[in-house]
Chain A
Amino acid sequence: MTARLLIVGGGMAGTIVANGLARRLSHELRSGDVNVTVLGTSNDHMYQPGFLYVPFGRVRSQELKRQERSILDRRINFVIDPATHIDVDANRVVAQSGKSYGYDYLVIATGSRLVPEQIPGLTEGAYHCYDLEGARKLRGAIDAFEGGRIVINVNAPHKCPVAPLEITLMLDEHLRDRGLEGKFDITYTYPIGRLHSLEPVAEWAVPEFDRRGIKYQTFFNTKEVDVAKKVVHSEEGDSFEYDLLITIPPHRGAQVIEDSGLGAGGWIPTNPRTLLREGSDNVFVIGDTTNIPISKAGSTAHFQADTVVENLTMMVQEGRWSREYDGKVFCFIETGLSRGTYIWFNYKTPPRPTPPTQMVHWFKLAYNRMYWLSACGLL
């Protein structure tokens, strides 16, 4: 009997799982003992960390997009048919076409979505770089900027937790390079009582911000944006006037997760080590979709995908478990346009940022190209 492996989501996590399974289960795929299907929403596969470079003209949009079908191993069934209901009791997924997809093992990798509309005025008043269209618009706004007050406004929850710091430092350097030093000021707002969730990163950021004259306001959870007056207000009672407002919009999980009753906010209760959905023994959840209290980042999705590939392979081939996810996360941090650093941590090891270097920046730029090898399951 053929084992049916269904992956919902064709982003980084779903794609790495699919290609990893194709490599490890090649014999079973050839014999027909296994089939692997990816149920996606689009044939566009975006390299999302690359959006950060778009506002500064450092990357071409075409470099960030490939066709999902061209990345997936040819032995993977790829269907563009957005899932509309995931029924974990009946082991099936219903999609937009009305078709029902049964499975023996399910991997849910539906990701997260931007919901700026949750905050009045944010959609109309702010720019962002968390999708390609937003990043292009932000580039236009930065190109047109000739001086004034910039507010970089971070909201919770959001993916890629170091991106707010990166865009702040890169923007500061970019504007100085354009000869605007002394003609602009940047204020960075953050929801909790320090500049970043990670305490060592926050401690590193304070002198860096002070050295550059970047102002900051902690405990700032955005209440609303008065677009006409160009003022952003917080739940805590603080307000800032701006000429250019750049936001990190709040996120939610995919609509299908909420519609299927699988988790509040679109985040699925997930065991942090097995990555199994709480209450299921054949449903894995990875990437942004989990409710695990860990960074929603590409590297998280990647390391989780590797774990799921190992476990699914072992379960299919030997009927036993392989290994658990150790909570590993790795993030590059661009500290400007020519230097960078990185952090890594897991459930037991705290992060320790190292001094920024040009070498790490170059490695980050190299990884931006090498990403496609990761998606193909080769790196």
Chain B
Amino acid sequence: MSGTGNGVEHLLSAYDANGYYDELFGIKAKPAAHTQGVRDRLRQLDFDDLRRRAADAERELYNLGITFLVYSDAKAVDRILPFDVIPRIISAKEWAHVDAGVQQRIAALNLFLHDVYHDQKILKDGIIPAELVLGNANYREQMRGIDLPFNTYIQIMGVDLVRDHDGTFRVLEDNARVPSGVSYVVENRHMMQRAFPDLMGDIGIRSVDNYGMKLLEAMCEIAPPQPDGGDGDPQVVLLSPGSYNSAYFEHIFLAREMGVPLVEGRDLVVENDKVYMKTTGGLRRVDSIYRRIGDDFLDPLAFNPDSMLGVPGIFEAYRKGNVALANAIGTGVADDKAVYAYVPRMIKYYLGEEAIIPNVETHICREPEALKYTLDNLDKLVVKPVGEAGGYGITIGPRASKAELDDCRAKLLADPANYISQPTIPLSVCPTLTEDGIEPRHVDLRPFAITARNTWVLPGGLTRVALKKGTLIVNSSQGGGSKDTWVLTGGPADEEETPSLVADPFQSQSQQ
């Protein structure tokens, strides 16, 4: 059965991270001491058993319908996000750093948005080129002068982080519109708890269970005050484009976790600049909406007139302060890939601090020098269009063919302002279960933050893993998977008291 050849021990001994920073082992100069406990337990596992449990876990995800829709050849197919059972582990110290960095970043971006939609000081002071912001497709002039609770525009944020060769966390991208993936963080944890209780016991892992509660709290905090001074809870809803949206599972998940209705545009109406949902008892007032619909589609009267997904008149209700929306309209101007390059300067400008988590070095191709540098080093750089999400339209210089580079060059010359370029980052790797055993695969990390009165960062976040050997693109739409992310508590495992049993319980009755 489990001879030495079948043990995980044997596989981990032969494991080689190929010089990348390794999430489980660290690097020679900086070994990952905090993962010792998990490594010891992993080594005791039988490889066949590990495989079997991994297969069971994936089947369970499918049965549970934890799936996303993929559209290919005009057909919609239910897919699971492939799940890798070897966790990614973050020490308490590393996490304290990430947590502070994410809080700082979201604070600066919210200050930036408030400024941009009010006095525009940062533009007047020439810190960020005005045309980059005002000419941005995601800038919403309609938001000028509107005051929001706590001056918060981004309530829900996901920040994409990567680690380079020495393990330094860097921000790769901000997601300040409708960041997705948090449902997988929680579901992955549940999956690990069911499939690998032996791996987790006594390790001391911070819980991810209260995301829904924190989100609901924030949604209630930003809700307009009850008109009659009523003490009832605000009516919160989650607005989804519908069951054909690829992230529908996440919408379900969040609605369930918050315990609020998941509505579609057709379930809402606006009357007298107030938003109502259609219930069995008639129309009922809605106070606070977590919307998973882009600005463009939110209100055909204010934005894209062709949208069938939104709610006519909702912008006017919002403008008058009769309903809260999260995230606010117009946040896309803050997570734009071109604006991203200026975030460290933004942090300095608003907070007087250095960025706790640095950016990846970025060349803004709208600037002639950066364009020249990019064109001269095309084969060494990653070129990204600024308006796209999901890893689409990216050219990775070192891996691109001559034809692909030529194509990229032509696009850059035709519309330089649409592109940024960055050096290829040697993304950190994590041991991952593959066809050929346990091998290093590149990972990133998307922590999630919630902000209303205060900011809270979910301990952990989504670790996405590029399952294809050698590839750096971790997006689910490009064949990526995910891992459970364990933030260690640091101290000895929190000891929870086991409630003592009732002294002398009555036995259940049985048939005589």
Do A and B originate from a single complex?
A: no
Q: Residues on A close to B: CB < 8 A?
A: none
